[in-house]
Amino acid sequence: MADDRRAPTNKGRGGAAPALSFLETLRWAWRQLTSMRTALFLLLLLALAAVPGSIVPQRSVDQRAVQAYFERHPDLAPVLDRLGAFHVYTSVWFSAIYILLMVSLIGCILPRVAVYSRALRARPPKAPRNFSRLPASATYETEADVETVLAAAGATLGLARKDTVTVTDDGAVVEGEVRAEKGYLREFGNLVFHVSLVVVLVGVASMSLLGYRGSAIVAEGKGFSNTLTQFDEFTSGGLFDTDDLPPFSLTLDNLEATFELDGPQRGAPRSFSATGTVIDAPGEEPRPFEVKVNHPLRVDGASAYLVGSGYAPVIRVRDGKGRVVFEDAVPFLPADATYTSNGVVKVADARPEQLGFQGFFLPTAVSFGEDEIPVSAHPAAANPLLGLFAYYGDLGLDGGESQSVYVLDKDGLTQFLGDDGKPLRLMLSPGQSADLPDGMGSIEFVELRQFARFQFSAQPGVMIPLWGVSIGVLGLVLSLTIRPRRTWVRARRRDDGVTVVEIAALDRVPRSDVAQSVDDLAARLAERTGHTGNDYDTASEAEPPKKDEG
Amino acid sequence: MTLEDWANFSNNAVAAATAVLALAWLASVAQWAFGSKAVRVERAVAAAEPALVGGGSASSNAPAVDGPSSADREAAEERSDLFGRIAFSLTVLGFLVLLAAVVARGLAAERVPWGNMYEFATTGICVVLGGYLVMDVLMKVRWLAPIVLGFAVVVLGLSMTVYVPAGPLVPALDSYWLVIHVISAMVAGAGFLVGAGASVLYLLRTRADARGGAKGYLSRLPSAASMDQLAYRVTAFSFPVWTFAALISGPIWAEHAWGRPWGWDPKEVWAFITWVAYAGYLHARATAGWKGKAAAILSLIAFATFLFNFVGVNLFFPGLHSYAK
Ligand code: HEM
Does residue B58 surpass a pLDDT of 60?
no
Cα A546 to chain centroid distance, Å, stands at 44
Does residue A348 surpass a pLDDT of 90?
no
The domain in which residue B234 lies consists of: 169-325
C-beta separation of A475 from A172 below 8 A? no
CA–CA gap between residue A546 and residue B57 (Å, rounded) = 18
* A491 Cβ contact list (under 8 Å, min separation 6): A146, A149, A150, A153, A175, A176, A177, A499, A500, A501, A502
CA–CA gap between residue B59 and residue B306 (Å, rounded) = 48
* A309 Cβ contact list (under 8 Å, min separation 6): A255, A257, A272, A274, A450, A451, A452, A453
Cα torsion A350, A352, A353, A356: sign: negative
Q: How far apart are the CA of A331 and the nearest CA of chain B, in angstroms?
A: 22
Element (H, E) at A533: none
Please write the tens of the pLDDT for every residue from A163-172: 888 888 877 8
Per residue, what are the HEC states of B118-176? HHHHHHHHHHHHHHHHHHHHHHCCHHHHHHHHHHHHHHHHHHHHHCCCCCCCCHHHCCH
C-beta separation of A123 from A479 below 8 A? no
Query: Cβ–Cβ of A268/B170 closer than 8 Å?
Result: yes
Q: Kindly state whether residue B91 falls inside one of the protein's structural domains.
A: no
* A537 Cβ contact list (under 8 Å, min separation 6): A138, A139, A140
Query: Cβ–Cβ of B263/A65 closer than 8 Å?
Result: no
The mean per-residue pLDDT over the stretch A263-267 comes to 73
Give this prediction's pTM.
Answer: 0.81
Is the CB–ligand 1 distance for residue A480 below 6 Å?
A: yes
Q: How far apart are the CA of A363 and the nearest CA of chain B, in angstroms?
A: 20
Q: Kindly state whether residue B210 falls inside one of the protein's structural domains.
A: yes
Cis peptide before B266 (omega within 30 of 0): no
Please write the tens of the pLDDT for every residue from A462-503: 889 999 999 999 999 998 888 888 999 999 888 888 888 999
User: How many CB atoms lie under 10 A from the CB of residue A259?
Assistant: 20
A188-192 long-range Cβ contacts below 8 angstroms, 24+ apart: A188/A116, A188/A475, A188/A478, A189/A474, A189/A475, A189/A476, A189/A477, A189/A478, A189/A479, A189/A480, A189/A482, A190/A475, A190/A478, A190/A479, A191/A109, A191/A112, A191/A113, A191/A116, A191/A475, A192/A471, A192/A472, A192/A474, A192/A475, A192/A478
Give CA separation, A83 vs A45, A53, A98, B270, in Å.
17, 12, 17, 21
Which stretches within A175-327 are classed as H helix?
Answer: 184-210
Cα torsion A158, A161, A167, A168: sign: positive
Q: Kindly state whether residue B62 falls inside one of the protein's structural domains.
A: no
Mutate to test the interface with A, among B2, B264, B308, B314 (most CBs of A within 10 A): B264
* A419 Cβ contact list (under 8 Å, min separation 6): none
CA–CA gap between residue A205 and residue A139 (Å, rounded) = 58
A91 SS3 class: coil
A40 SS3 class: helix
Residue B324 gets which letter from DSSP? T
Residue A21 gets which letter from DSSP? P
Amino acid identity, position B197: G
Interval between CA B187 and ligand 1 midpoint (Å): 23
Instruction: Name the domain count of chain B.
Output: 1
Does residue A540 surpass a pLDDT of 70?
no
Of all residues in chain B, the one with the smallest CA distance to A200 is: B247
Q: Which residues of B touch A270 (CB under 8 A)?
A: 168, 171
Q: Kindly state whether residue B247 falls inside one of the protein's structural domains.
A: yes
CA–CA gap between residue A430 and residue B277 (Å, rounded) = 58
- Phi then psi dihedrals of residue A151, to 5 deg: -65, -45
- Phi then psi dihedrals of residue B248, to 5 deg: -120, -65
More confident: A230 or B130: B130
Query: Cβ–Cβ of A54/B256 closer than 8 Å?
Result: no
B154-158 long-range Cβ contacts below 8 angstroms, 24+ apart: B155/B121, B155/B124, B155/B125, B156/B14, B156/B17, B156/B18, B156/B21, B156/B98, B156/B121, B156/B122, B156/B125, B157/B18, B158/B121
Query: Cβ–Cβ of A466/B261 closer than 8 Å?
Result: yes
* A34 Cβ contact list (under 8 Å, min separation 6): A2, A103, A104, A106, A107, A108, A111
Is the CB–ligand 1 distance for residue B240 below 6 Å?
A: no
Q: Determine the pLDDT at residue A270.
A: 80
Q: Determine the pLDDT at residue A534.
A: 60
Please write the tens of the pLDDT for every residue from A141-160: 888 888 888 888 888 888 88
CA–CA gap between residue A225 and residue B47 (Å, rounded) = 90
CA–CA gap between residue A253 and residue A295 (Å, rounded) = 17
Query: Cβ–Cβ of B236/A455 closer than 8 Å?
Result: no
Q: Kindly state whether residue B95 falls inside one of the protein's structural domains.
A: no
CA–CA gap between residue A358 and residue A325 (Å, rounded) = 17
Nearest to B265 among A61, A469, A546 (CB): A61
The mean per-residue pLDDT over the stretch A358-385 comes to 86
User: How many CB atoms lie under 10 A from the CB of residue A262?
Assistant: 8
Which positions 267-296 of A are in contact with B (Cβ < 8 Å)?
Answer: 268-272, 292-296
Range of A33-42, A240-249, B226-235 with top mean pLDDT? B226-235
Q: Determine the pLDDT at residue A535.
A: 53
Is the CB–ligand 1 distance for residue A105 below 6 Å?
A: yes
CA–CA gap between residue B86 and residue B25 (Å, rounded) = 10
CA–CA gap between residue B101 and residue A529 (Å, rounded) = 59
Element (H, E) at B248: none
Size of interface A-B (CB pairs under 8 A): 141
C-beta separation of A201 from A101 below 8 A? yes
Q: Does A64 touch chain B (CB under 8 A)?
A: no
3-state DSSP: chain B helix, strand, coil percent, rounded to 5? 80, 0, 20
Residue A368 gets which letter from DSSP? S
Q: How many residues does chain B have?
A: 325
Q: Determine the pLDDT at residue B134.
A: 92
ipTM, two decimals: 0.81
The mean per-residue pLDDT over the stretch A191-199 comes to 91
Mutate to test the interface with B, among A294, A307, A546 (most CBs of B within 10 A): A294
Which stretches within B49-69 are classed as H helix?
Answer: none
Q: Which residues of A touch B319 (CB under 8 A)?
A: 61
C-beta separation of A344 from A352 below 8 A? no
Please write the tens of the pLDDT for every residue from B187-229: 999 999 999 999 999 999 888 888 877 677 777 788 888 888 8
Q: Determine the pLDDT at residue A240.
A: 84
Element (H, E) at A441: strand A441-458
Q: Kindly state whether residue B289 falls inside one of the protein's structural domains.
A: yes
Is the CB–ligand 1 distance for residue A115 below 6 Å?
A: no
User: How many CB atoms lie under 10 A from the CB of residue B289?
Assistant: 8
Beta strands in A122-232 (DSSP E): 136-142, 161-169, 172-182, 212-219, 223-225
The mean per-residue pLDDT over the stretch A295-310 comes to 88
Nearest to B171 among A3, A36, A271 (CB): A271
What confidence tier does B324 reach under pLDDT thresholds 50, 70, 90? Answer: very low
Of all residues in chain A, the one with the smallest CA distance to B256 is: A294
Atom of ligand 1 nearest to the CA of A40: 27
Give CA separation, A406 vs A178, A343, B67, in Å.
82, 6, 87
Cα A479 to chain centroid distance, Å, stands at 23
Using left for φ > 0, alpha for ψ between -120 and 50, and beta otherwise, residue A166 falls in: beta
**Ligand 1 pocket, mutate which of A194, A473, A476, A507 (most atoms under 8 A from CB):** A194
Interval between CA A353 and ligand 1 midpoint (Å): 71
CA–CA gap between residue B44 and residue B144 (Å, rounded) = 27
The mean per-residue pLDDT over the stretch A381-392 comes to 91
Which residues partner with A426 through β-bridges?
A: A388
Q: Which residues of B touch A61 (CB under 8 A)?
A: 263-265, 319
Q: Determine the pLDDT at residue A536.
A: 52
Query: Cβ–Cβ of B259/A546 closer than 8 Å?
Result: no
Nearest to B167 among A36, A54, A264 (CB): A264
Q: How many residues does chain A have?
A: 550
Does residue A93 surpass a pLDDT of 60?
yes
Angle made by CA atoms A220, A224, A225, in degrees to the nearest 5: 165
User: How many CB atoms lie under 10 A from the CB of residue A197?
Assistant: 22
Of all residues in chain B, the one with the smallest CA distance to A459 is: B260
Of all residues in chain B, the one with the smallest CA distance to A48 is: B273
Number of separate helices (H) and strands (E) present in chain A? 10, 25
Is the CB–ligand 1 distance for residue A108 below 6 Å?
A: yes
Q: Kindly state whether residue B238 falls inside one of the protein's structural domains.
A: yes
Nearest to B259 among A58, A61, A303 (CB): A303
CA–CA gap between residue A110 and residue A236 (Å, rounded) = 33
Q: Kindly state whether residue B199 falls inside one of the protein's structural domains.
A: yes
Does residue B2 surpass a pLDDT of 50?
yes
Is the CB–ligand 1 distance for residue A197 below 6 Å?
A: yes
Q: Which residues of B touch A3 (CB under 8 A)?
A: 287
Q: Determine the pLDDT at residue A542.
A: 38
CA–CA gap between residue A381 and residue A365 (Å, rounded) = 9
Element (H, E) at B235: helix B224-243
The mean per-residue pLDDT over the stretch B243-270 comes to 87
C-beta separation of A292 from A271 below 8 A? yes
Is the CB–ligand 1 distance for residue A531 below 6 Å?
A: no
Nearest to A44 among B177, B276, B313 (CB): B276
Least confident of A60-74, B116-130, B162-176: B162-176
Q: Determine the pLDDT at residue A401.
A: 64
Cα torsion B93, B94, B98, B99: sign: negative
CA–CA gap between residue A74 and residue A53 (Å, rounded) = 19
Nearest to A549 among B223, B236, B252 (CB): B223
Does residue B268 surpass a pLDDT of 60?
yes
